[in-house]
Amino acid sequence: MSPTAPEGKRTLRFREALREAMIEEMERDETVFLMGEEVGHYQGAYKVSEGMLEKFGDKRVIDTPISEGGFAGIGIGAAMVGLRPIIEFMTWNFSAVAFDQILNNAAKVRQMSGGQFKCPIVFRGPNASARQVGSQHSHAMEHFYATVPGLKVVAPAFPVDAKGLMKAAIRDDNPVCVMESETLYNIKGEVPENVDAMPLGVANVVKQGKDVTLVAYSRMTHIAIEAAAQLEKQGISAEIVDLRSLRPLDEGAIVKSVIKTHRCVVVHEGWPYGGVGAEIADRVQRLAFDHLDAPILRVSQLDVPMPYNAKLEQLVMPQASRVVKAVERVMARGRSQALERSS
């Protein structure tokens, strides 16, 4: 049973919002089905698909062997002949085994067939670090997939966005990767009854500010919110742009915010080299260079494989304290430049 907040406002956990989106779309469209490891009888590795086997039966909620390349390929074939599969990876780390299918088939079949085949498929599952799961299970995989033409990539931070973006992903005629932070499944948020599909490629300003723009997505949006609260105590007003979608990317929302604040710090969970932060920094410096009062800074994982040790893991991960320090740097640089211009 979904909890109810005061004044009748309904709240759901992140996993419940995802489940509700899938159920509603499967009820709306009989071509939609769910397939993956432990999605059925085990009720989902993270209980996202809990109750769905009982509701839809084993023809539409299909348990698979541990064979990501195999069932990803089956899903792509099903999408090409008119079905709308939802393929769950137990973790996006395991999608590396299916990378050939996603890269060379799902992302390319529509273009290579001259539009004769569509590929309306959703790849979804937990992404990025969890808690002490080791370096081989802690990859932020959105960087890899966002580079691929033909794929769309979304990374929601809140339950309401998880539901709206999942519905949009299922209805899209192109392959969509839904990156669900493994650490967000249990968070709660307000989700109105009538949430429908949200347009892909539209960011959300979750906090207004005037001094610096923090660009983030998924779990890093929560880190940015934590950092912004600490910055307020110093008299620094941070605006937070939650991307929600990485490809397509709402560069207009980012640029509009930077023009307003004149400073930008990008917070993302993956490695720094060639990551989402680098892409955003490039676009900001090209599209808003004359409005910048300081260099664009990035806060990311350290450039190392994820340690297993809990203290080292926290050291490697982006933390609010690192975001605060980055903002302090751009604020100091911006003030010194302003003084130079006025002298």
CA 179 to CA 145: how far, in whole Å? 10
CA 222 to CA 152: how far, in whole Å? 23
CA 338 to CA 221: how far, in whole Å? 29
CA 169 to CA 153: how far, in whole Å? 9
Residue 137 among the catalytic residues: yes
Contacts of 196 (CB under 8 A, 6+ apart): 164, 167
Give strand ranges (E) for the chain.
11-13, 32-36, 61-63, 84-88, 122-127, 152-154, 176-181, 188-190, 204-207, 212-216, 238-242, 245-247, 264-267, 297-299
Q: Angle at CA 182, nearest 5°, toward 224 and 155? A: 60
- Active-site entry in 137, 143, 222, 262: 137
Residue 262 among the catalytic residues: no
Q: Angle at CA 163, nearest 5°, toward 224 and 135? A: 55
Contacts of 227 (CB under 8 A, 6+ apart): 214, 238, 267, 320, 321, 323, 324, 327
Residue 248: asked if its preceding bond is cis (omega within 30°), the reply is yes
Amino acid 167 reads K
- Active-site entry in 16, 25, 68, 269: 68
Longest dimension (CA), the chain: 73
CA 187 to CA 319: how far, in whole Å? 18
Q: What are phi and psi of 92, to 5 degrees?
A: -65, -20
Active site residues: 68, 137
